[in-house]
Structure 1
Amino acid sequence: MHTSKTQNAARIILGAFLTFAGISHLTFNRSVFLAQVPQWLPVDPDVTVILSGIVEISLGLALIFAVRYKKWVGITAAVFFVLVFPGNVAQYVNKVNAFGLNTDNARLIRLFFQPILIIWALWSTNVLTKRN
């Protein structure tokens, strides 16, 4: 099935968002992302930030340009959003101020946006459409 113009626009916007976020992991927001890496993660926080930035850039560019594989990229992006969710939870639990999230309520509200990103990745790549 083909994606609609709205789905294509949403896919490209999500791809641009991920690409920008990945670049920010590696450059100007690196210290902010370092603060969000859960302490229990058995990987060096700097390596975690670098690798997640590379993955975000790759997924973002794939969402924009790998149209032939958009369903697989959409599924991969959704899985990525699930995998980074513990970092968001850790930010809430550990009361880490980052990205203007400097209250418990703000950090809690952010947690509810992760399912939106998952659905966005799946919907914009037509994964949620039933086959005829």
Structure 2
Amino acid sequence: MKTNKIQNAFRILLGALMTTAGIGHLTFQRDEFIAQVPRWLPTDPDFMDFVVLSSGVVEITLGLSMIFLMKHKVKVGLALALFYVLIFPGNISQYTNHIDAFSLDTDRKRLIRLFFQPVLILWALWSTGALKYLINFRKNK
């Protein structure tokens, strides 16, 4: 799927942001990301750390794939959008359990954060041409 220069710039930017976030999972923001592990999962500290570390590896992989796997950008965009859907319960958990992290120290800020997730999903789909792919796929069905 062909994308224009603006989409490519936003794809690379999102890839860089994902890579940086993934590195944060593994290093300097590890405790902050533990706050986003849904509380309906086991709350054993070792398990929660495993969730943070493994999701960090996934974020780095998706981030670098957004930047470098241009021939597979539609698949990567779909995968990243799915990843954003899968991690959304962590954002909901942070809101419903009133957990402070990433300067989200009020329920209002945590609620506003929930509305940013669809923006990330659309960003991943649009910047990779996956949105156009999905629209065309649906039309051709």
**Coarse TM-score class (shorter-chain normalised):** over 0.9
Corresponding position of 1:111: 114
CA distances 1:3-36 after superposition (whole Å, capped 9, x unpaired): 0000000100000000000000000000111122
Describe the SS at the equivalent of 2:130.
coil
Task: Give the distance between the partners of 2:35 and 2:77, measured in 1 at CA.
Answer: 28
Moved more, 27-36 or 9-18: 27-36
CA distances 1:64-111 after superposition (whole Å, capped 9, x unpaired): 000000000000000000000000000000000111110110000000
In the TM superposition, structure 1's runs of 4+ consecutive aligned residues that sit over 4 Å from their partners are: none
Matched, 1:41 2:44: no
TM-score with structure 1 setting the length = 0.96
Matched, 1:53 2:27: no
RMSD: 1.3
Match of 2:75 among 40, 65, 72: 72
Corresponding position of 1:15: 15
Task: Give the distance between the partners of 2:112 and 2:35, measured in 1 at CA.
Answer: 19
Amino acid at match of 2:58: V
The CA deviation at 1:38 is 1.3
Number of paired residues? 132
Task: Give the distance between the partners of 1:4 and 1:76, measured in 2 at CA.
Answer: 20
Matched, 1:102 2:105: yes
Q: Which runs of 5+ in 2 are unaligned?
A: none
Task: Give the distance between the partners of 2:99 and 2:108, measured in 1 at CA.
Answer: 12
Corresponding position of 1:3: 3
Task: Give the distance between the partners of 1:121 and 1:6, measured in 2 at CA.
Answer: 13
Q: Which runs of 5+ in 1 are unaligned?
A: none
